[in-house]
Amino acid sequence: MSLLEPLRLAHGPELKNRLLLAPMTNNQSNPDGTASLDDLSWIRLVAAGGYSMIMTAGANVQRNGKSFPGQPGIYDDRHLDGLTEIASIIRGAGSISSVQLHHGGVRSLGGEYGQPYAMSPATGARQMSTAEVEQLRDDFIAAAVRAKRAGFDGAEIHGAFGWIISMSLSPIANRRTDKYGGDLEGRSRLLFEILHGIRQETGPDFQIGLRLSTERYGTSLRDLRDLAEEAMRREAIDYLDLAPWDVNAIAVEPEFENRPVLSIFTELDRKQTRIGASGKVMTGAQASSVLKAGCDFVMLGRAALLEPDAPRLFAKDPHHQGPETPVLYQYLREQGLSNAFVDYLLMDHPALVARGWL
Ligand SMILES: Cc1cc2nc3c(=O)[nH]c(=O)nc-3n(C[C@H](O)[C@H](O)[C@H](O)COP(=O)(O)O)c2cc1C
């Protein structure tokens, strides 16, 4: 199967190829979460890059879930104008648009944004009441409806990396005794209520994705696999977005030891659900090998930062190799990334960018 083949999802418009832009925090939105000029110019840049789907940075669905000072928000109608502009830039470029829906939970900023909470008490965060879990569910759903009103083709639930949904799945981080805790069914209840609520409120054309981590953050591979299988069985999602940070990761948990992590999910009876992954894909040939391993699509993260038009470059030459990392600050500025974005990368991704001469 070729990277350039279109991909049909169970709902909504077809993707024109198999290369999607991974969700990436840019820390450049306005402090109130509305889109900044830097947000719009980044979207214009990647919209010209040839991705079949462009996903936004994780956008917080509640004020107190904000986890980066420059994180985009999607919890209030004041965010609609910017979101509408982003969706229309993406559509204008012939790509599909998706907003990633996020809540930071215990890792939220707190302070002026409101007190952080978590599924179970943790340092700096109190335990949510059952009513608050239900409110969070409703706010995820409301955020997806807002994305649809803004013209987005879909939304992805951020269930990875230890943020609130990922924590709710973990028996270590979620020790609740109400219906949102306990066995896997209880711990995934919040997620499934969100997924079903979004489908109900957004209708048959809206594309719903789910991002999961693999082998970290306290949820076993067995549970993650069973959860993915259940989502496929219920046709609750259009696509499963696996985030192992390395598409060639090998499982270490005894039950799956030495098996490629992706295979644990690609061997499931996926029905209408599409499966994709991101992690250290830096060339077209590497992206093709992810399809050969059984995935339907590949997401590009760091390759897109180094070369925002990576899909076009990969299409021309599958062995095209981007620059060696770390690149200099000025290099990323010349690619069109904003000062705020590159400053954030310097802080959080020092292997990617070095300060160099300013
Ligand atoms: C700067 C940066 C910001 C990221 N922000 C997010 C995010 O907002 N949401 C998310 O789910 N993943 C985020 N990720 C993870 C990426 O989506 C991706 O899974 C990861 O970078 C591995 O893919 P890559 O090796 O192609 O970069 C981020 C990664 C980077 C490098």
**Inter-residue contact 234 to 181 (CB < 8 Å):** no
**Inter-residue contact 165 to 157 (CB < 8 Å):** yes
Is residue 59 lining ligand 1, measured as CB closer than 6 Å?
no
Specify if 349 maps to a domain: no
Summarize pLDDT for 55-92 with one digit per residue, the tens: 999 999 999 999 999 999 999 999 999 999 999 999 99
Specify if 9 maps to a domain: no
Is residue 331 lining ligand 1, measured as CB closer than 6 Å?
no
Which segment of 65-69, 197-201, 213-217 scores lowest on mean pLDDT?
213-217
Summarize pLDDT for 31-59 with one digit per residue, the tens: 999 999 999 999 999 999 999 999 999 99
Number of domains in the chain: 1
Specify if 343 maps to a domain: no
Note the pLDDT of residue 231: 98
Specify if 106 maps to a domain: yes
Specify if 11 maps to a domain: no
Specify if 305 maps to a domain: yes
pLDDT above 90 coverage of the chain, percent? 97
Which DSSP string corresponds to 139-158?
Answer: HHHHHHHHHHHTT-SEEEEE
Residue numbers of the domain that contains 119: 19-322
- Say if residue 222's pLDDT is above 60: yes
- Which pLDDT band, with edges at 50, 70 and 90, does 215 fall under? confident
Is residue 232 lining ligand 1, measured as CB closer than 6 Å?
no
Which DSSP string corresponds to 225-278?
Answer: HHHHHHHHHTT--SEEEEE-SSTT-B--SGGGTTSBHHHHHHTS--TT-EEEE-
Predicted model pTM = 0.98
Which segment of 2-16, 27-41, 95-109, 121-135 scores lowest on mean pLDDT?
121-135
DSSP character at residue 14: P
Note the pLDDT of residue 122: 85
User: Distance between CA atoms of 257 and 136, rounded to whole angstroms?
Assistant: 36
Q: For residue 348, which atom of ligand 1 is closest to its CA?
A: 1
Testing ligand 1's pocket by substitution, the residue of 21, 280, 302, 349 carrying the most ligand atoms inside 8 A of its CB is 302
Is residue 276 lining ligand 1, measured as CB closer than 6 Å?
no
Summarize pLDDT for 17-30 with one digit per residue, the tens: 999 999 999 999 99
Summarize pLDDT for 133-189 with one digit per residue, the tens: 999 999 999 999 999 999 999 999 999 999 999 999 999 999 999 999 999 999 999
As a whole number, mean pLDDT of residues 181-205 equals 98
Note the pLDDT of residue 190: 98
- Say if residue 358's pLDDT is above 70: no
- Which pLDDT band, with edges at 50, 70 and 90, does 96 fall under? very high
| CATH code assigned at 251 | 3.20.20.70
Is residue 23 lining ligand 1, measured as CB closer than 6 Å?
yes
- Say if residue 355's pLDDT is above 90: no
Specify if 242 maps to a domain: yes
User: Distance between CA atoms of 173 and 160, rounded to whole angstroms?
Assistant: 13
Specify if 348 maps to a domain: no
